[in-house]
Amino acid sequence: MVTWNNLDTLASWKELEAIEKVNLAEVMSGENGAERVKKYSVPMAEGLAYNYAAKSVDDTVLAGLAKLAGEAQLSEKFAALYNGEMINTGEKRLVLHQLTRGQLGDAVIADGVDKRAFYAEQQQKIAEFANKVHAGEITNEAGEKFTAVVQIGIGGSDLGPRAMYLALENWAKKNDTFKMEAHFISNVDPDDAAAVLNGIDVAHALFVLVSKSGTTLETLTNESFVKDALKNAGLDASRHMVAVTSETSPLAKSDDYLAAFFMDDYIGGRYSSTSAVGGAVLSLAFGPEVFAQFLEGAAKADETAKNPDALQNPAMLDALIGVYERNILGYQCTAVLPYSQALSRFPAHLQQLDMESNGKSVNRYGEPVSYVTGPVIFGEPGTNGQHSFYQLLHQGTDIVPLQFIGFRNNQCGRDVLIQDSTSQQKLCANVAAQIVAFACGKEDENLNKKFEGGRPSSIIIGDQLTPGSLGALLSHFENKVMFQGFLWNLNSFDQEGVQLGKVLAKRVLAHETDGALKVYSDLLNI
């Protein structure tokens, strides 16, 4: 039987607090460090590996973390989730994003429907639609092929799909699967929509409107902006738009759209990249086969997350180490540092995934917790970040755990030899150097040049960023966040924290304000 308890009530947690802390700079120096790099690595799906040698752990800490995973019933809670128990206690909903890419356990029947079959059906509908667009069977009014796709959405309807598109754009061009350019409109700021519309040929653009409820203010505002642009160009907007929404939304059966693809309330926006939310735009951009490879990679990583051995389960182990760093070592932030330009927006996606899921101060029962929960997530791709905020990471007063991501090969297949090494070798040399520099530091009598070291990091390493490895990477972080939420006894699948501002904004627009809200409204000329 699964029981849900606060982290600080678990006996194994109290034992873990008493374990001697690891001197990272010491254990990572010399031959000890070399042995750790070989030892502290666990395979992931799609040829990836999670290496945590430069984390502040040793065999004793790891044994304590494994014991904690058992007492917290992490595997059992994951099984409860994928077998269809009501895990989202805030909204009294199932949590089914893993089901969009494969069946992990029992058939899940909700609302009288086999949900795996439903998600597979939507994927097939999207594939058939995308293939017809690519073949010129679905065209604009002039019978001409669409050459660009524009997604209109915000939050999880933008961040994840945008990050995945950028991650695969160069790969698709190199592998001759690039079909259509994709663009994204998210911000209600009219400059966002205008910039996209000014940069495309609207007559040959297909717009994907994404709103589960069909009532999202920012998204509907941007839809009106786009429809106005289409009208001004003498175009029929209904011949240029498709909807991704729920079956019960006002968009579902509207004549304003060429087609509608469905999602449901069991998939949160930040977990929706493998649903129709990501499926439509990615299938149109790269072809349904590429999206299917992406789903397959995510499904394989989900399978590894079922492993009850915490030390052989990369997502669970990453989550456990993260909680150890947050709650015992007292680190407040985590930096995600992909040494891959293709992953330039991946940290932004993980910001929402992590901070919207575990940025909570009450447990699953609405009771305040007496310990810290989710960290602040930020990041930029390397090597750009090295010339930006790494100064603070190396020599600042706060220690920030780091999550590097690196690949042995680039996506474009092109490189150049400069000063006896290629660009890719230089990139990889930098990430290797940073890991050791952060961990080991450097002594210097001049304190301005001294590096304390002891700054922990992990790295996920792969051969190349492909659709499959991207899917596995996405799943890894989704499951890491899930396991951390289980440990903190949080409901990681609602987001009440985004609602208050929306309510107040509606009051401002209705001119129903007083006090400070009225003064700020007047200052902004609303």
pLDDT at residue 499 greater than cutoff 90: no
Distance CA 17, CA 131 (A): 56
pLDDT number for residue 403: 98
User: Residue 502: which pLDDT band, with cuts at 50, 70 and 90?
Assistant: confident
Taking the C-alpha atoms of 344, 348, 354 and 356 in order, what is their torsion angle to the nearest 10 degrees? -160
Mean pLDDT within 83-103: 97
pLDDT number for residue 125: 98
CA distances from residue 444 to 395, 448, 456, 459 in whole angstroms, order as listed:
13, 8, 21, 28
Counting residues of the chain whose pLDDT is more than 70, the rounded percentage is: 100
Mean pLDDT within 147-175: 97
Mean pLDDT within 206-223: 93
Q: Do residues 394 and 327 lie in contact, with contact meaning Cβ atoms separated by under 8 Å?
A: no
Counting residues of the chain whose pLDDT is more than 90, the rounded percentage is: 96
Mean pLDDT within 286-310: 98
**Sign (positive or negative) of CA dihedral 313, 314, 316, 322:** positive
Q: Do residues 53 and 14 lie in contact, with contact meaning Cβ atoms separated by under 8 Å?
A: no
pTM (whole model) above 0.75: yes
pLDDT at residue 44 greater than cutoff 90: yes
Round the average pLDDT of the chain to a whole number and report it: 97
Q: Do residues 258 and 239 lie in contact, with contact meaning Cβ atoms separated by under 8 Å?
A: yes
Q: Give the residue numbers marked as catalytic.
A: 356, 387, 502
pLDDT number for residue 430: 98
Q: Which residue is it, tokens 């040698």?
A: 53
User: Residue 497: which pLDDT band, with cuts at 50, 70 and 90?
Assistant: confident
Mean pLDDT within 261-271: 96
User: Residue 112: which pLDDT band, with cuts at 50, 70 and 90?
Assistant: very high
